[in-house]
Structure 1
Amino acid sequence: MANAARLLIVDDNEDILSTFYEFFNSLGYEVKTAVDGFAALKILRDKPDYFHCLITDLVMPNISGVGLISIVKKDFPDIKTIAMTGYGDHPGALASEARADIVIFKPVDLFKIERTVAELIGRKEN
């Protein structure tokens, strides 16, 4: 499956990470996960042209999702970004400020996120 869409999913909640991993993996996506922004950046720097889409929680230790999105937009401008938050409007506003492509509020609908991912990266692959 050489042309499978490649996702990096970042969340400090292991249950969310494993749920997302299983869900997207079962749909044929290639998925890598990270527990915080620092770990995510290491993965991105190891494979700079690899990922199509980053899905990140906003409130995390070390580097926040907002910080991560800002760095990704600057250093990896081809990667689409989806921010997830369960903390009302303020982190959502921050994510918009960091220029996330999409902001999604928790609890998330996995099928809705998958459609969003497909739309975001579909534009790039077609």
Structure 2
Amino acid sequence: MSNPDRLLIVDDNEDILSTFYEFFNSLGYEVKTAADGFDALKILREKPDYFDCLITDLVMPNISGVGLISIVKNEFHNIKTIAMTGYGGHPGALASEARADIVIFKPVDLFKIERKVAELIGRKEN
């Protein structure tokens, strides 16, 4: 049996974190969550080759999603990144600048974001 696809989901909104956790977990992903970029980096550095995809909010305390994506792109070359934002074009432009693989605007459609994750990491249909 192959390893499950592993996601790290970062958002300072607990409701969003738990919704994403439940949703992706129910689809067979292994999911870890972090409440901000600082916690996310700690998790990533403890398990550098562990995660397949990072899904992060852009506007967060401590380390923003833009900062997090920039660090991930420099330190963890194999991790695909999806940026989520509820704010118009500016954070979206920043996410592109930070080289996020995909930028998604909130409110997000969970099935749409799952399709994007599957495309990015080459997930096979169950």
Q: Same fold (TM over 0.5)?
A: yes
Q: Does 1:60 align with 2:60?
A: yes
Alignment match, 1:3: 3
Corresponding residue pairs, total? 123
Alignment match, 2:94: 94
Task: Tell me the CA shift for residue 2 of structure 1.
Answer: 4.6
Alignment match, 2:36: 36
Alignment match, 2:110: 110
How far apart, CA to CA, are the structure 2 residues paired with 1:12 and 1:80? 20
- Residue 75 of structure 2 aligns with an amino acid whose one-letter code is D
How far apart, CA to CA, are the structure 1 residues paired with 2:3 and 2:44? 18
How far apart, CA to CA, are the structure 1 residues paired with 2:69 and 2:89? 17
Q: Secondary structure at the match of 1:69?
A: helix
Per-residue CA deviations over 1:23-56 (Å, capped at 9, x if unaligned) read 0000000000000000000000000000000000
Q: Does 1:79 align with 2:59?
A: no
How far apart, CA to CA, are the structure 2 residues paired with 1:29 and 1:48? 18
Q: Secondary structure at the match of 2:56?
A: strand
How far apart, CA to CA, are the structure 2 residues paired with 1:3 and 1:81? 20
- Residue 114 of structure 1 aligns with an amino acid whose one-letter code is E
- Residue 20 of structure 1 aligns with an amino acid whose one-letter code is F
Instruction: Give the TM-score normalised by structure 2.
Output: 0.96
**Unaligned stretches of 5+ residues in structure 2:** none
Q: Does 1:47 align with 2:53?
A: no
Per-residue CA deviations over 1:37-87 (Å, capped at 9, x if unaligned) read 000000000000000000000000000000000000000010000000000
Q: Secondary structure at the match of 2:122?
A: helix
Instruction: Give the TM-score normalised by structure 1.
Output: 0.96
How far apart, CA to CA, are the structure 2 residues paired with 1:80 and 1:92? 17
Alignment match, 1:19: 19
How far apart, CA to CA, are the structure 1 residues paired with 2:98 and 2:51? 19
Task: Tell me the CA shift for residue 119 of structure 1.
Answer: 0.3
Task: Tell me the CA shift for residue 3 of structure 1.
Answer: 1.4
CA RMSD of aligned residues (A): 1.0
